[in-house]
Structure 1
Amino acid sequence: MKQIIIIIVSAAFIFSCKNKMENTAASDPDIKPKTIVTATYPSDTVQLNNTITLNATAAYLLKSDVKANSNGYITKMTIKLADRVNRGTLLFGLQTKEARALGNTINKLDKSFRFTGTSTVVSPATGYVAMLNHQIGDYVQDGEVLAAITDADSFGFVMDVPYEYLQIIKDKKTLPITLPGGKTLQGKITKIMPAADAVSQTVKILLQVSDHTIPENLIGTVTFSKTTAYGLSVPKMAVLSDETQSSFWVMKLINDTTAVKTDITKGVETDKYIQIKSGDLTTKDRVAVSGNFGLSDTAAVKIQKP
């Protein structure tokens, strides 16, 4: 009899528990999965600089040729390749073919004649010896190029600037030039070429620097601001778009568990921030900056604390 009573009580207990579970399941709505996101507040104090970076190549715009001033043999040479010389420095000594053949015979006959048959060639500019074509003993013709001297006054960095940025460049007096290794020089804008490249539609600009020890053809970078703006902005990762990049939005948190799609209009964009020109957004609203990709409107979220 006791066993029958135990079985009946157990069955009633199980039936009661089953009913409670069914009632609980029926009363609770469908539970949405929550996406873990991180959130931040928009800022209205960030300065947005839309910058442009262009390459600039070190170059000498002018190289002066050192030419022989008579036919003859090179009897003296005071320079080597890459030497620095000043304007007027003696570079070469020349002796005519006739003077070499006669030697000092004429002077021995008449000392007052003072015939030497020699001439000197001096540097036409201050700079470095960029090319050296001859050596002592060579016979050269009048007007033949003996060497080439870079003109230090023409040294600078040449930069190809797209025409649409030309006016921005003209408004500036100097631009920073960053060299490989991180060294920065201030380049003074001294020349703007009067012609544009027919294919690339760029204009060459010369930036002169005070350091003339930089090797020719070294490439540096010049960065300048295209536009500067202030206003409401959000981190770049907070802004989402469609496949055609024609509409943009952010996921705004209306509470700790719900994010809604909020359409915006973009303004100035940098590598870190995007300006919000219009949209239902203030500095008091929170926006999702990670975990927001692919979220639908009115998505269930869980904020991850940093």
Structure 2
Amino acid sequence: MNSTTGTAKILPVAILLSLFTIAGCNRGGASDEDDDDSGTSTSINAKVEVNVVNPRIGSLSEYRILNATSVFLLNDIVRAPIAGYINTVYVTTGQEVKPGDKLFAILTKEASVLVADTLFPSRGVITVKATQAGIIKEVDRQQGDYMQDGDQFCTIADKSSLVFMLDVPFEIHNFVVKGHPYTISLPDGETVKAQIASQIPQMDRAVQMERFILRPSASLDIPEGLIATVYIPTITGSNATILPKNAVLSDETQTDFWVMKAVHDSLAVKVPVIKGIETRDSVEIKSPAFSDNDKILVTGNYGVPDTVKIKIMKQ
């Protein structure tokens, strides 16, 4: 009897110990799950580093880019004063000359026969000199050539007469205003201001272009025939809300546009916008109305959800 009673007392104790062990294991499992939740919470709380700008209020213009070609308006054609043979050529193409510089010498036909006649101390050689400053644009004859009276020897271009011929499609000719300042961009990146001096009253029938003479405000040392670009404003908006181009995002079809606006220093939200005038680096925002105190994301704004936690970087 005593042995049976002892066994009965031991069983409840073993059961209790098993229960405590199971409870301890459950607590350990709960602890592991908490650690996992903690890791997930950390990833959710990650912030995107961004840069922001404030919208600015100002004027913005949309441009048409047109070609303009450099041309010398004044060209002095030097001709032979008499018939004869070219005795000496003093100039070459591209050479700069000033008034009084020798261009060429011509030997009269008679002098070529009577070169030893002492009655002609100059031996019938006539030297032709430049009457104006400029650059030798082309030389049409060479030493030994025979020239009739009035034949062309060379052409001198007046460097101060350099202008640009601007070709303008007829549909936008009303946007080209006489006396208005325009910007000419040269192929090397240099820019120069210029004004419309006049319009040539003739239409290019093939391409339906009008020609305007664009006179640079500063002298340029460039050759004739150089093709430059001119920006003609076709639409101008005043008192416009302007953002950098990289602040405005769009869908793949370029139909919906939006910006990411910082509502406070740690959160940004998607705000749909309607664009207006657009240039190479700026966009007019017609709707909604932004103040110049708003903060709009310009970096860190691509591929983020409609609401995102942010960290604004110092600029």
Tell me the TM-score normalized by structure 1. Answer: 0.70
Distance in structure 1 (CA, Å) of the matches to 2:265 and 2:162: 62
Give the fraction of aligned pairs with identical amino acids, expressed as a percent: 33
- CA deviation vs aligned residue, 1:171-227 (integer Å, no higher than 9, x gap): 544445455666654434323333454437463433245536443345555556552
- Choose which of 86, 90, 93 in structure 2 pairs with 1:74: 86
8 Å CA contact 2:260–2:297 kept in 1: the answer is: yes
Aligned match of 1:264 in 258, 261, 273? 273
Deviations 1:225-283 (A, max 9, x none): 55253333333223222333233222345566765443221122234432221226555
Q: How many correspondences in the alignment?
A: 297
- The reply to whether residue 133 of structure 1 matches residue 140 of structure 2 is yes
Following TM superposition, by how much is the alpha carbon of 1:11 offset from its aligned partner in structure 2, in angstroms?
A: 1.1
Backbone CA RMSD of aligned residues: 4.5
Q: Is the 8 A contact 1:56 1:222 kept in 2?
A: yes
The correspondence of residues 117-196 of structure 1 with structure 2, limited to 5 A, is 119=126, 121-123=128-130, 126-163=133-170, 166-177=173-184, 185-196=192-203
How big is each residue's C-alpha offset from its partner over 1:10-64, in whole Å with a ceiling of 9 and x where there is no partner? 2123335657988999xxxx99956726263642435545456555443323433
Task: Provide the rounded CA distance (Å) in 2 between the counterparts of 1:44 and 1:210.
Answer: 32
**Separation in 1, partners of 2:219, 2:34:** 85
Give the TM-score, by structure 2 length: 0.69
Give runs of aligned pairs for residues 1-306 of structure 1, distance below 5 A.
6-15=17-26, 33=44, 36=48, 38=50, 40=52, 42-50=54-62, 56-86=68-98, 91-103=103-115, 107=119, 119=126, 121-123=128-130, 126-163=133-170, 166-177=173-184, 185-197=192-204, 198-199=206-207, 201=209, 203-208=211-216, 210-211=218-219, 213-218=221-226, 222-223=230-231, 227-253=236-262, 259-279=268-288, 281-283=290-292, 285-297=294-306, 299=307, 301-306=308-313
Structure 1's unaligned 5+ residue stretches are 109-113
Rg: which structure is higher?
2
Q: Helix, strand or coil for the counterpart of 2:312?
A: coil
Unaligned runs of 5+ in 2: 1-9
Q: Structure 2 vs 1, CA of residues 177 and 4 (structure 1 numbering), >3 Å: closer, same or farther?
A: same
For 2:220 and 2:268, the matched residues in 1 are separated by 59
